[in-house]
Structures are given as C-alpha cells and as structure tokens.
Amino acid sequence: MAARRFPRSTAVLEEIFAFVAEFLAAEGIDRERAFDLDLILEELFTNMVKYSREGKDQVEIALARDGEGVRLTLRDFNVDRFDVTGAPDVDISRPISERRAGGLGLHLVRRIADRFEYDYRDRVSTITVWKRL
C-alpha cells in the first residue's frame, strides 16, 4: 500500500497523478490503466476541496493492490459528514437544459468504479473505491 497526504488545493492534481503513476510502476501495472484511477481521484479529491470548506487538514490518498484491481481510499480530516454515495444520480436521458447543475462527475465515478463506499467517524470522511484492472 502507498499513502500520501496532499494540500487541499486543486493545484496539486498533477502531483496526485504522479503518485498514481509511481504506484502503478511499483506494482508492475501498465501505465495505460491510470486513466480511470486518475479520473476517479480527480473527481473525488476536487469534491472534497470544493465542498468540505471547513477542512483545514490535508487529504490523504492511499492506493493498494486488491486482488485483480486497486483500492483507492481518500480521507478528509476534521470535516462535516457528506456522503457522496448518497448523492442523487444524474438522469442523462433528460436534456441538459432540464438537468440541475452538478453531479456529473460522481455519475462518472459510479460508472467507472466497481465498488464505491463511504464511511464517517470522528469527523473523518472516508471514501473507498475499488477498480478492477
């Protein structure tokens, strides 16, 4: 398992992508597999930064080999509860003009991930995602 903490800023997204690339290389996983992992992390990390504004601590990202896939874990410390798994799904069959703003990124995460869970304890928000490779 590899874990690292990142400042609460979207300016560190390239550092997060580099972290994913390092993990894949260390695990002997083809770099081509990074696209889905990068997309999932970008969406979830950006949501943590954008919507958990009271958070002052860094966000921890952990990557672990899990059978034939990877487990991604994001931890946001000293924040209020916000269960991203409970956010309403986007009705993509409706015209854009009739949809409410937001939610498309989580919609993509739900479609790309094989499993997606949320936990909240002691003001720590934890999102865990599993992705088969």
Q: In the predicted model, what is the mean pLDDT of residues 14-42? A: 94
The model carries a pTM of: 0.87
What is the distance between the alpha carbons of residues 29 and 46, in angstroms, rounded to a whole number?
Answer: 25
Binned at pLDDT 50, 70 and 90, residue 91 comes out as low
Q: Domains, the chain, ranges and CATH?
A: 2-132 (3.30.565.10)
Helix locations, 72-103, DSSP H: none
The better pLDDT of the pair 121, 99 is held by 121
The residues that bridge with 77 in the sheet, in sequence order, are: 124
What is the distance between the alpha carbons of residues 50 and 132, in angstroms, rounded to a whole number?
Answer: 28
Residue keyed to tokens 């997060």 = 16
- Contact in structure between 106 and 45 (CB atoms under 8 Å): no
Average pLDDT over the chain, rounded to whole? 87
